[in-house]
Structure 1
Amino acid sequence: MCACRCGIKVHLKDGEIRYIEGNPDHPTNKGVLCGKGSAGIMKQHSPAKLTKPLLRVGERGKGEFKEIEWDEAMQIATERLANIRETDPRKLAFFTGRDQSQALTGWWATQFGTPNHAAHGGFCSVNMAAAGLYSIGGSFWEFGEPDWELSRYFVMFGVAEDHDSNPIKAGLSTLKANGAKFVSVNPIRTGYSAIADEWVGIRPGTDGLFIFALIQQLLKADKIDFSYLARYTNAGWLVKDNPGQADDGLFARDEDGNPFCWDGTSKTFTNAMAAGSQPTLVGEYELADGTSVVPAFDLMARRYLDDAYTPEAVTETIGIDPGTIRRIASELAEVAFEQEITLDIPWTDWAGREQIQMTGRPVSFHAMRGISAHSNGFHTCRALHVLQMILGTIDVPGGFRYKPPFPKAIPPHQLPAGKPGQVKPNSTLGGPPLGFPTGPEDLLLEEDGTPVRIDKAYSWEAPISAHGIMHMVIHNAWKADPYPIGTLFMFMANMSWNSSMNSSGTMEMLTDRDPESGEYKIPFIIYSDAFFS
C-alpha cells in the first residue's frame, strides 16, 4: 500500500478480514498505523481487485477486456518473451513501480538478459539516493534517520506525509516532548509543517540555494567541525589545480594510488588514508613535479563563499529574507557547537583507534522527494550532505544515524550491466542492470556513443541515473528513440504517476499507431497489477 513497510496484525472472522491494527512488536512502526494502513480492508475487498488475467479484445484505451485462465495468459506472455530473448533481449522494456520488490524484479531482468529495467525511484527519489550514496555512503529514509532521542535542532526539507509516515510521526512526537526545535522548510504549511516550531515557506525547487547560503554563513563564522572533516571525510585530500590539463581536478595520489594530503604536523605530503595523518584543510602546495595542489575543503569553501550565495543574493529567488537565513545558520551553529553531547561509550573508529567517548552534534536533518524530484535535485541533496558534514552531524549522537547495512563504500561498488558485449541472445545479463558509474568507462553506450538503454540511463544524457529513468520509458518506446522495442512489460506501475504526470499524453502514446503500417507504435504491452485500473 505504501513504502513504509509497517507491521500489521490482521484479524479474521469466518475467513474474512474484519479489522487491521498496527503490530506493537514491529521495529518500523511499533504499533502506530495511519489511515491508509487501517483502510487496508477496503483494498482487500475492492471490486476492482483482479481475480483472473484479462486479455484486451478491443482497441487500446477502450477498456474492453475478457477474463482468461492463467494457463492461457502464461502461454501468451512466455511465447512472446521467449522470442525476444532468443533474438534481441533489448526489445523487452521491463519497468516496475512503487512495489518495493526491486530486488526480485532486478534479478528477473538480469536472468532474462535485458538492460532495460528500472523502477519508480528514478522518478521519485533517485537524486536523493544517488547524492547520498556518492557523498556519505547512505542517505535519508531507508538508509538512516535522525537521532530522535538526542537531537535538539531538527530541520526537515520537502517531506510529504506518505514518506516514512509512521516512524516520522513517532519521531517528531519524541522531539517535541524533549523540547527540541523543529524547523520545516516547505512551500506549503500542511502535514508535518503544521506542527513545526518554525515553518520556512520556500519557493519550490530553490532549497539548494537556501542550503548554499547557510553553508556560506557557517564558513564565514568559522563554525566548522574541522576535526570531524579531517578524520572522517576527504576534505583534506589534495586536488590537482592544473588548468587545461587532463588531470585538472583529480586527486593527487602516490605510486600506490593512495590519496595525498599535506600533513600539518610533519609538513610533508602524506598518505591521507594513514591512521596517523593530520590533514591540513586549507592552503596551496606544490608536488615534486611542480603541479599545484589544494585541499578539497579549500576548493569547496571558495565555491560556497562566492557572492552569489549571500543571503541578500538568494533572497528574491528563494523567498526567504536574509535575516531568517542568518538566524537559522546561527541557531544551527549554536546547537551543534555549544550544546555538544558527550557519551561515555568506548568505541573503535575506522582506523582502529580506540576512543573512550562519543561526541555528538545534536543537529539533525531529514529530506525526501520535495528536494529530490527537481532537475537540480542531485546538487541540492549533495549540498545538504555537505551541510551535515561541516557540522559534524553524520553518524554521531544527536545527528543522523545510519541503519544497517549502511554506510556503504563511496561510491558503491556495483556497476550497471548492459554494455554491448553483455547483451546477448539467450543469455543472462552478467550483472544487475542498475548500479553506480564511477567514470565514463562505466557508461552504457553503443560503439557510436548512443544509449544502450531505452530510457537512456547511464548515457551522456543521464550518467548517474542510479534507479534508471522510468518516466521516460513510454515516451522513448513510442518514439523508438534510441530504438524500437517489441514488448513493454509494466509491473505494478502507475502509468500516470510514472510518466511525468502526463496522463492524457501517456494514453496517446500507448494507443498511437504508425500511420504507414497501422500497427501500434508500442507493439505489445503486458501490465501486471492487482487491480483493474
Structure 2
Amino acid sequence: KSTCRMCHGVCGVLVRIKDGKVVEVTGDPDCPTNLGYICPKGKASVEFLYHPDRLKYPQKRIGARGENKWQRISWDEALDTIAEKLLKFKRESGAESVATIIGTGRPQLPMYMRFSNCFGTPNHLSIINNCYFPRIVASRMTSGKFHVCDYYGFGGVTPKLILNWGCNIVGSGAADGMCGYQVTRTLKNGAKLIVIDPRKIPLAAQADQWLQIRPGTDDALVLAMLNVIISEELYDKDFVNKWTVGFDELA
C-alpha cells in the first residue's frame, strides 16, 4: 500500500511488484479519499518511473542550445557550476539581477524562499503568486482554514446541493483531495446540481440548472445572489453572528 504523488490528491494506491520492479498501480479500496478509484495519471505513474528519458542525475549541455547534446556530470560538479555562475551574476550585476523560480513542491517552499532571501534577491516566483497561495488565502479569509469539501458524508450528511462555479472537475480533474468521481457519486445519491459556466462542460448536461453567464460577469451574479440572500434573510443568522467578520459592511 502507498499513496499516489502524481498530483496533490494523494490517493491511496496498491502497488504490485514483480522481481523487485513495479508493474502495476491500482486504487486502494480501503482509502477513504478515493475508495479504490484512480485516474489515468496515477495509472501511468509506472511509465513515469521507468521512462528512459527520466532525469536521474545532473547533465551538462556540451553542444549548442537546441542540439540536445548532454554529458552526465557529478553532483559536486553540478553544484560548483551553479554556485560559480550565481556568484558571477551577483558580482557583476547585483543579487537582484537573479530570479529564482520553483515548481509545485509545496513542502520545500520555505527552503527555496530562504535561499533567495540569503542570496539577496526578492525575485522569487512560485506557487505563492501563481496558483496555490491565492486559494489558501481566500479559503482562510472565508472559513478560517484550507478546507476540503465533504462529498464523503463524514459528518453524517451527504450534500443535497452542489454549486459548481467555473470548475470543470469531472472533465479535466482536480487535485487537493477533490476528485470528479466524488461529485458524480454524490449526484447518484440524489443531490441537486447547479452549474455556472460560460462553457457547456460535461457537468452542465447533468445539471438541474445551468447558468451560461457571459465571461467576466461572475462578480455581478454573485453580488445579485448576495443581495437576495441578505434582503430576504435567507441566511443562518446565528452562524453569521458567531463566525463571521464584516457582515454589516457587506450588507
Scaled by the length of structure 2, the TM-score of the pair is 0.77
CA deviation map 1:433-480 (0-9, x unaligned): xxxxxxxxxxxxxxxxxxxxxxxxxxxxxxxxxxxxxxxxxxxxxxxx
Partner of 1:96: 102
Q: Does 1:157 align with 2:107?
A: no
Q: Distance in 2 between matches of 1:138 and 1:78?
A: 39
Q: Which amino acid is 1:34 matched to?
A: C
Partner of 1:131: 138
Residue 189 of structure 1: how far off its partner (Å)? 2.7
Q: Distance in 1 between matches of 2:12 and 2:63?
A: 42
Q: Distance in 2 between matches of 1:197 and 1:105?
A: 42
1:3 to 3, 8, 17: 8
Matched-pair contact (CA < 8 Å) for 2:148–2:177: no
Aligned residue runs from structure 1 range 115-514, under 5 A = 115-120=122-127, 122-139=129-146, 143-146=147-150, 148-149=152-153, 150=157, 151-160=159-168, 161-164=172-175, 167-235=178-246, 297=248, 299-301=249-251
Task: Name which structure has the greater RCO, CA cutoff 8 Å, separation 6+.
Answer: 1
Q: Distance in 1 between matches of 2:96 and 2:10?
A: 33
Q: Which amino acid is 1:23 matched to?
A: D
Partner of 2:18: 13
Q: Which amino acid is 2:68 matched to?
A: E
Matched-pair contact (CA < 8 Å) for 1:32–1:166: no
1:28 to 28, 33, 50: 33
Q: Which amino acid is 2:101 matched to?
A: F
Q: Distance in 2 between matches of 1:166 and 1:16?
A: 28
Partner of 2:110: 106
Greater fraction helix = 2
Count of equivalent residues: 234
Matched-pair contact (CA < 8 Å) for 1:154–1:182: yes
Q: Which amino acid is 2:44 matched to?
A: A
Q: Which amino acid is 1:201 matched to?
A: Q
Q: Distance in 2 between matches of 1:123 and 1:177?
A: 35
Matched-pair contact (CA < 8 Å) for 1:6–1:33: yes
Q: Distance in 1 between matches of 2:69 and 2:112?
A: 27
The alignment's C-alpha RMSD in Å is: 2.9
Give unmatched runs, 5+ long, in structure 1: 236-295, 302-533
CA gap 1:27/1:175 in 2 versus in 1, 3 angstroms = closer
Scaled by the length of structure 1, the TM-score of the pair is 0.39
Q: Distance in 1 between matches of 2:203 and 2:179?
A: 9
Q: Distance in 2 between matches of 1:222 and 1:105?
A: 43
Matched-pair contact (CA < 8 Å) for 2:28–2:36: yes
Residue 23 of structure 1: how far off its partner (Å)? 2.4
Q: Distance in 2 between matches of 1:68 and 1:214?
A: 60
Matched-pair contact (CA < 8 Å) for 1:34–1:166: no
Matched-pair contact (CA < 8 Å) for 1:10–1:17: yes
> SS at the partner of 2:149?
strand
Q: Does 1:78 align with 2:83?
A: yes
Larger Rg: 1
Residue 4 of structure 1: how far off its partner (Å)? 1.8
CA deviation map 1:366-391 (0-9, x unaligned): xxxxxxxxxxxxxxxxxxxxxxxxxx
> SS at the partner of 1:183?
strand
Residue 63 of structure 1: how far off its partner (Å)? 4.0
> SS at the partner of 1:19?
strand
CA deviation map 1:113-158 (0-9, x unaligned): 143333235223544333332343234xxx3214553221120112
Matched-pair contact (CA < 8 Å) for 1:148–1:174: no
CA deviation map 1:24-71 (0-9, x unaligned): 3434323210111112222223333124322233444x2433122223
Q: Which amino acid is 2:162 matched to?
A: F
Q: Distance in 2 between matches of 1:25 and 1:40?
A: 20
CA gap 1:130/1:106 in 2 versus in 1, 3 angstroms = same
CA gap 1:12/1:209 in 2 versus in 1, 3 angstroms = same
Give unmatched runs, 5+ long, in structure 2: 1-5
Matched-pair contact (CA < 8 Å) for 2:60–2:71: yes
